[in-house]
């Protein structure tokens, strides 16, 4: 039809376009006519006759291209016709296609035929994720055109000025094409031109691009002589213009081939690929011929030492990669001075590579002789004066010391490198520094590792008691600022002096002046209280300078004057607890030294304390009589116990790591046993102190406070480690202490687990102790388990102990019938144990706990003494000639105890019957 009547065809087409525009959406028109024989031509005519639908058609074509692959050829023809139909819309069409990342052939066609901005456009579109643009099969016909245009541009720029910035763009495009298209090859003329560009690189950017070109095209340029390549590469790598040259050397020496690819991609900002066959040859040339380990390490350490973030990042990255790749080891270059410089000149925020660099540096110290650690005197001199605002360099240096000691402990069989001595840490407010770091985002790069190091080496800073104490301090923080506390002190001084009025400027509130003017023993309670309140109103870290002054003045006052002023003591205890959250080690030692009754020749130090916690009990005995001071004493003991346990564990691990335990003579089990012995000795001493104070005190309320503190401390330790309970009770203690232990220590129910074992050991004293313990524990916890123990274990054990006496009473009954000789009776009496006098009364406690087994106990008592008192006494006297006088007294004592126990049993039966009647 079209060929027969051309005019009629276009007239009908025109009419159809207008009809369709009124009744059918553009999207449907495009979708339908793409499938028809002359549909492409119709769509072009449709756009020509309805120009307002131009971009709707473009958008629909783009959508169909992705959704319907069978229409891609038609879409190609439609869009080609449309940009030719309206050349002024070509740039918009190109932008749409670039945004949607489709049809790169049309994009290049528009660029070539219409816009003619191939240099700037291809440079802009060739970036990250640009493979869709270059590697499309339909673009093959345009690749040679791009390559030719870039060659022409580079040739022109070289003829004008080899140092021109205008050469950067075409040379970058050439590098990108070579890296994106695997089979792209340059002819000899092109290679020679590009190699001339490389030879004449004289600035930062061109050095980078030249190295990228040589890396990408190494297979093609390898045809050049080795000498010329070595010379060319050497000039580039030794160039001072580019950081990339140093990074390339670092990655080559550390065999990080992917990092080289990543480096080239970042320089070009194009996701290129470097042929795998190129990298080994390039790496061999760099490492074996151009830059050895010694040169690359020295160059990295002599980088400009500046705090500019760009240079700092680059310097840190270089040194980290070299440390990680053990290049410093191979080059015998010491990195110590560089590390120390970086620490002392650290800037905020802390660089994210500081922690990995320090870790690699420490491991390097332990694996090679060429890398040395920072001298101890340098560290001590720099850390000895940490104030309330620690310097970043001090924090990083402390972090280095802690990390070094932790890694040394974990490094196997290394005896030549020792840890840093940590005695100086006693005076460093580690906990405060940790809080300081925690609250500053600038230290986020090291905070997790910093916490880990402190928790590993100072676990006593993280126990439950300490955490609770910190929360209490936060909740009880004074709302009154220090200024008003100063005003209170000034007013108090003015009221006490009629002849002199002073103001806030007339007295200094530094530690020395407070000690000299306010905390003297001659001062009244009000002045001392105001001074303590002022100190307590300060922030926690501001209280640190007052530590020694407060302890040395307030503790003796409380002890010597028997100061019972609760307000003063409460303020002192609150200050002590707050100081314990920031300088615990120093505080414990100072507390111990001020608890002494008489001044020693030399004060105890932290090492003395953790090696032998028992020295805490050398303090003035009056400490135990003051509940507030006793509380501080027990807190100190708790923390010191944990620190001591860690100290000995740490020493043992070092002993193992250094291979000093070759014959396995001292094992972990031995260490655990020794630690348990040490710690249970502390508990035993506390138990003894509780009884001494109980006897001394006449005030019931005061006595209750002392016993509650001591036994609550013991209970907390029992809860933390139930093994303590068994160890303490197998060691035994005075029987008269058992009631207090059961009363004040709720965890004593754990004794149910080992009572059968305690009663089965051969030591009689332990068995007697176990029976007494059972009686009191059963009374406190009358449950099914204790009932079974009483019925099946304890009562049978008492019966077994009483068998010789039961045998004796049964035999003396037969004396009337002359059924036994005096000699045999004497032998029986000799076998009766003395401890029956102690054991039998326990039956009363058992029956109080379990009235339903009174009949069982009554039967046992009847077997022990089946006759009344007068008969028993008469029979014993009649046969006294057969045994010693001491045994006669023993028999009378046992008989008396049985009678008293029987009376108590009768009373229990009576009370039980009355209770039953009341229930009815």
Rounded to whole angstroms, the Cα distance separating 887 from 903 reads 24
Q: Which of 72, 76, 184 is nearest to 135 (CA)?
A: 184
Mark which of 63, 91, 116 sits at the end of a domain. Answer: 116
For residue 266, the model assigns a pLDDT of 80
**For residue 378, how far is the Cα from the chain centroid?**
28
For residue 920, the model assigns a pLDDT of 54
Per-residue confidence at 756, pLDDT binned at 50, 70, 90? very high
Mean pLDDT across 193-209: 80
Residue 510 CA neighbour count, 13 Å, CB half: 4
Residue 798 CA neighbour count, 13 Å, CB half: 30
For residue 901, the model assigns a pLDDT of 83
Q: Is residue 883 part of a domain?
A: yes
Q: Tens digits of per-residue pLDDT, 31-43?
A: 777 777 777 777 7
pLDDT exceeds cutoff 80 at 759:
yes
Is residue 656 a contact partner of residue 415, using CB atoms and an 8 Å limit?
no
Q: Tens digits of per-residue pLDDT, 825-836?
A: 667 777 788 888
Q: What is each CA distance from 34 to 51, 383, 504, 574, in whole angstroms?
A: 19, 80, 94, 87
Q: Tens digits of per-residue pLDDT, 712-733?
A: 999 988 988 889 999 999 989 9
Rounded to whole angstroms, the Cα distance separating 261 from 257 reads 7
Mark which of 116, 147, 163 sits at the end of a domain. Answer: 116
pLDDT exceeds cutoff 60 at 174:
yes
Per-residue confidence at 308, pLDDT binned at 50, 70, 90? very low
Q: How many helices (H) and strands (E) does the chain have?
A: 50, 0
Q: Of residues 732 and 807, which shows the higher confidence score?
A: 732
**DSSP state letter for 1:** -
Is residue 509 a contact partner of residue 486, using CB atoms and an 8 Å limit?
yes
Query: Counting every residue, how long is the chain?
Result: 920
Q: Of residues 488 and 737, which shows the higher confidence score?
A: 737
**DSSP state letter for 351:** P
pLDDT exceeds cutoff 60 at 480:
no
Is residue 458 a contact partner of residue 588, using CB atoms and an 8 Å limit?
no
For residue 245, the model assigns a pLDDT of 66
Is residue 509 a contact partner of residue 481, using CB atoms and an 8 Å limit?
no
Q: Is residue 823 part of a domain?
A: yes
pLDDT exceeds cutoff 60 at 312:
no
For residue 103, the model assigns a pLDDT of 81
Q: Is residue 683 part of a domain?
A: no
Largest CA distance in the chain: 159
Average pLDDT, the chain: 77
For 502-511, 532-541, 870-879, which range has the lowest pLDDT when averaged over its residues?
502-511
Could you give the dihedral angle defined by the CA atoms of residues 199, 275, 297 and 395, in that order, rounded to the nearest 10 degrees?
A: 120
Rounded to whole angstroms, the Cα distance separating 44 from 55 reads 12
For residue 918, the model assigns a pLDDT of 61
Q: Which of 247, 384, 388, 402 is nearest to 327 (CA)?
A: 247
For residue 498, the model assigns a pLDDT of 43
Q: Please name the residues in contact with 585: beta carbons below 8 A apart, sequence gap of 6 or more.
A: 425, 426, 427, 430, 606, 643
For 307-316, 456-465, 881-890, which range has the lowest pLDDT when averaged over its residues?
307-316
Q: Is residue 5 part of a domain?
A: yes
Q: What percent of the chain has pLDDT over 90?
A: 6
pLDDT exceeds cutoff 70 at 369:
yes
Q: Tens digits of per-residue pLDDT, 437-460?
A: 887 888 888 888 888 888 887 777
For residue 25, the model assigns a pLDDT of 73
For residue 772, the model assigns a pLDDT of 92
Rounded to whole angstroms, the Cα distance separating 526 from 302 reads 64
Rounded to whole angstroms, the Cα distance separating 810 from 804 reads 10
Rounded to whole angstroms, the Cα distance separating 251 from 72 reads 45
Q: Of residues 242 and 131, which shows the higher confidence score?
A: 131
Rounded to whole angstroms, the Cα distance separating 875 from 880 reads 8
Q: What percent of the chain has pLDDT over 70?
A: 76
For residue 281, the model assigns a pLDDT of 73
Per-residue confidence at 773, pLDDT binned at 50, 70, 90? very high
Q: Which of 308, 311, 360, 313 is nearest to 339 (CA)?
A: 360
Mark which of 116, 148, 167 sits at the end of a domain. Answer: 116
Per-residue confidence at 56, pLDDT binned at 50, 70, 90? confident
Q: Is residue 592 part of a domain?
A: no
For residue 218, the model assigns a pLDDT of 79
Query: Helices 257-268 and 243-253 meet at what angle, rounded to 10?
Result: 160
Mean pLDDT across 283-312: 60
Mean pLDDT across 148-164: 77
Per-residue confidence at 593, pLDDT binned at 50, 70, 90? confident
Q: Is residue 805 part of a domain?
A: yes
Is residue 301 a contact partner of residue 335, using CB atoms and an 8 Å limit?
yes
Q: Please name the residues in contact with 5: beta carbons below 8 A apart, sequence gap of 6 or more.
A: none
For residue 244, the model assigns a pLDDT of 67
Most confident of 24-28, 173-177, 777-781: 777-781
Rounded to whole angstroms, the Cα distance separating 673 from 727 reads 10
Rounded to whole angstroms, the Cα distance separating 777 from 846 reads 9
For residue 561, the model assigns a pLDDT of 67
Per-residue confidence at 59, pLDDT binned at 50, 70, 90? confident
For residue 305, the model assigns a pLDDT of 47
Rounded to whole angstroms, the Cα distance separating 600 from 619 reads 11
Q: Please name the residues in contact with 494: beta carbons below 8 A apart, sequence gap of 6 or more.
A: 500, 501, 502
179: preceding bond cis by omega (within 30 degrees) = no
Rounded to whole angstroms, the Cα distance separating 124 from 130 reads 10
Mean pLDDT across 94-103: 84
Mean pLDDT across 130-146: 73
pLDDT exceeds cutoff 50 at 306:
no
Domain hosting residue 86, numbered range: 1-116
For residue 53, the model assigns a pLDDT of 80
Number of independent structural domains in the chain: 2
Rounded to whole angstroms, the Cα distance separating 649 from 787 reads 42
Q: Give backbone dihedrals phi and psi of 426, rounded to 5 degrees, phi first.
A: -60, -35
pLDDT exceeds cutoff 60 at 361:
yes
Mean pLDDT across 78-90: 85
Q: What is the DSSP string of 558-575?
A: HHHTT---HHHHHHHHHH
Rounded to whole angstroms, the Cα distance separating 88 from 93 reads 10
Q: Is residue 828 part of a domain?
A: yes
Mean pLDDT across 843-862: 86
Q: Please name the residues in contact with 156: beta carbons below 8 A apart, sequence gap of 6 or more.
A: none
For 344-358, 622-636, 747-761, 886-900, which range has the lowest pLDDT when averaged over its residues?
886-900
Q: Is residue 206 part of a domain?
A: no
For residue 194, the model assigns a pLDDT of 83
Mean pLDDT across 138-151: 79
Is residue 321 a contact partner of residue 375, using CB atoms and an 8 Å limit?
no
Question: Residue 916 class from Cβ within 10 Å (0-12 exposed, 13-18 middle, 19+ buried)?
Answer: exposed
Rounded to whole angstroms, the Cα distance separating 89 from 73 reads 21
**DSSP state letter for 159:** H
Rounded to whole angstroms, the Cα distance separating 799 from 801 reads 5
Rounded to whole angstroms, the Cα distance separating 6 from 906 reads 134
Per-residue confidence at 559, pLDDT binned at 50, 70, 90? confident
- Alpha-carbon torsion 406, 407, 410, 411, what sign? negative
Per-residue confidence at 858, pLDDT binned at 50, 70, 90? confident
pLDDT exceeds cutoff 50 at 1:
no
**Whole-prediction pTM:** 0.67
Three-class DSSP category at 298: helix
Q: Which of 449, 480, 666, 448 is nearest to 571 (CA)?
A: 480
pLDDT exceeds cutoff 60 at 292:
yes
The CA-CA-CA angle for residues 255, 259, 262, to 5°, reads 155
For residue 499, the model assigns a pLDDT of 42
Mean pLDDT across 846-857: 86
Rounded to whole angstroms, the Cα distance separating 80 from 72 reads 12
pLDDT exceeds cutoff 70 at 297:
no
Per-residue confidence at 502, pLDDT binned at 50, 70, 90? very low
Most confident of 269-278, 363-372, 438-447, 611-620: 611-620
pLDDT exceeds cutoff 60 at 491:
no
Q: Of residues 667 and 473, which shows the higher confidence score?
A: 667
């Amino acid at each position: 039809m079209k060929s027969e009547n051309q005019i009629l065809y276009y007239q009908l087409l025109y009419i159809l376009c207008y009809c369709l525009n009124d009744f059918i959406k553009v999207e449907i028109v495009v979708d339908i006519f793409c499938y028809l024989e002359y549909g492409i031509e119709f769509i072009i005519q449709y756009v020509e006759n309805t120009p307002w639908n131009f971009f709707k058609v473009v958008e629909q074509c783009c959508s169909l291209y992705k959704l319907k692959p069978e229409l891609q050829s038609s879409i190609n023809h439609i869009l080609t016709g449309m940009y030719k139909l309206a050349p002024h819309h070509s740039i918009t069409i190109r932008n749409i296609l670039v945004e949607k990342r489709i049809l790169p052939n049309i994009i290049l066609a528009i660029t070539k035929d219409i816009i003619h901005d191939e240099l700037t456009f291809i440079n802009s579109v060739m970036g990250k994720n640009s493979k869709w643009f270059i590697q499309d099969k339909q673009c093959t016909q345009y690749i040679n055109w791009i390559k030719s245009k870039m060659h022409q541009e580079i040739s022109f720029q070289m003829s004008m000025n080899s140092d021109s910035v205008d050469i950067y763009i075409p040379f970058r495009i050439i590098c990108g094409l070579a890296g994106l298209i695997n089979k792209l090859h340059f002819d000899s003329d092109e290679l020679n031109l590009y190699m001339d560009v490389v030879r004449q690189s004289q600035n930062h950017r061109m050095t980078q691009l030249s190295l990228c070109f040589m890396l990408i095209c190494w297979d093609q340029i390898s045809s050049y002589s080795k000498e010329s390549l070595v010379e060319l590469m050497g000039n580039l790598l030794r160039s001072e213009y580019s950081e990339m040259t140093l990074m390339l050397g670092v990655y080559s020496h550390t065999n990080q081939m992917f990092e080289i690819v990543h480096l080239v991609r970042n320089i070009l900002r194009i996701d290129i690929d470097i042929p795998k066959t190129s990298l080994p040859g390039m790496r061999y040339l760099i490492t074996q011929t151009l830059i050895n380990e010694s040169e690359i390490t020295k160059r990295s350490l002599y980088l400009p030492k500046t705090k500019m973030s760009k240079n700092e990042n680059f310097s840190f990255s270089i040194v980290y990669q070299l440390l990680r790749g053990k290049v410093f080891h191979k080059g015998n270059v010491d990195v110590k001075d560089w590390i120390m410089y970086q620490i002392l000149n650290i800037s905020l925020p802390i660089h994210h590579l500081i922690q990995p660099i320090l870790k690699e540096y420490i491991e390097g110290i332990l694996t090679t002789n060429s890398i040395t650690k920072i001298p101890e005197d340098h560290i001590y001199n720099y850390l000895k004066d940490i104030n309330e605002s620690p310097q970043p360099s001090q924090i990083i240096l402390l972090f280095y010391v802690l990390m070094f000691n932790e890694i040394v402990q974990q490094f196997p069989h290394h005896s030549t490198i020792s840890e840093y001595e940590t005695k100086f840490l006693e005076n460093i407010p580690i906990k405060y520094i940790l809080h300081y770091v925690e609250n500053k985002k600038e230290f986020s790069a090291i905070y997790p590792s910093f916490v880990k190091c402190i928790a590993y080496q100072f676990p006593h800073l993280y126990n439950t008691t300490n955490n609770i104490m910190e929360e209490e301090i936060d909740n009880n923080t004074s709302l009154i600022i220090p200024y008003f506390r100063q005003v209170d002190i000034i007013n108090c001084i003015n009221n006490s002096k009629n002849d002199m009025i002073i103001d806030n400027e007339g007295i200094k509130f530094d530690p020395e002046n407070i000690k000299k003017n306010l905390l003297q023993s001659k001062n009244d309670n009000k002045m001392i209280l105001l001074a303590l309140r002022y100190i307590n109103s300060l922030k926690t870290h501001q209280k640190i300078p007052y530590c020694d002054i407060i302890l040395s003045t307030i503790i003796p006052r409380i002890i010597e004057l028997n100061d019972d002023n609760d307000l003063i003591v409460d303020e002192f205890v609150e200050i002590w607890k707050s100081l314990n959250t920031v300088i615990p080690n120093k505080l414990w030692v100072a507390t111990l030294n001020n608890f002494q009754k008489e001044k020693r020749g030399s004060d105890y130090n932290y090492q003395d304390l953790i090696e032998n916690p028992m020295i805490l009990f050398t303090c003035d005995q009056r400490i135990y009589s003051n509940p507030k001071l006793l509380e501080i004493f027990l807190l100190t003991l708790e923390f010191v116990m944990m620190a001591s346990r860690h100290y000995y564990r740490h020493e043992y691990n070092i002993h193992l790591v250094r291979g000093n335990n070759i014959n396995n003579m001292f094992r972990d089990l031995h260490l655990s046993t020794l630690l348990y012995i040490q710690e249970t000795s502390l508990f035993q001493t506390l138990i003894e102190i509780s009884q001494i104070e109980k006897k001394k005190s006449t005030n019931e309320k005061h006595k209750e406070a002392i016993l509650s503190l001591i036994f609550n401390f013991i209970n907390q330790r029992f809860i933390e480690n139930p093994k303590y309970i068994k160890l303490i009770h197998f060691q035994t203690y005075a029987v008269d202490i058992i009631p207090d232990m059961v009363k004040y220590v709720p965890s004593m129910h754990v004794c149910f687990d080992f009572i059968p074992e305690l009663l089965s050991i051969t030591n009689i004293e332990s068995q007697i102790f176990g029976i007494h313990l059972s009686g009191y524990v059963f009374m406190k916890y009358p449950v099914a388990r204790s009932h079974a123990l009483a019925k099946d274990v304890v009562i049978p054990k008492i019966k077994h102990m009483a068998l010789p006496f039961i045998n004796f009473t049964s035999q003396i009954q037969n004396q009337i019938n002359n059924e036994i000789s005096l000699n045999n009776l004497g032998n029986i009496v000799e076998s009766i144990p003395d401890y029956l006098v102690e054991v039998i009364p326990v039956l009363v406690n058992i029956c109080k706990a379990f009235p339903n087994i009174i009949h069982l106990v009554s039967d046992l008592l009847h077997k022990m003494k089946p006759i009344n008192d007068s008969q028993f006494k008469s029979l014993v006297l009649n046969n006294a000639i057969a045994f010693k006088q001491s045994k006669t007294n023993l028999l009378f004592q046992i008989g008396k105890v049985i009678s008293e126990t029987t009376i108590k049993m009768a009373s229990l039966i009576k009370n039980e019957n009355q209770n039953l009647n009341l229930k009815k």
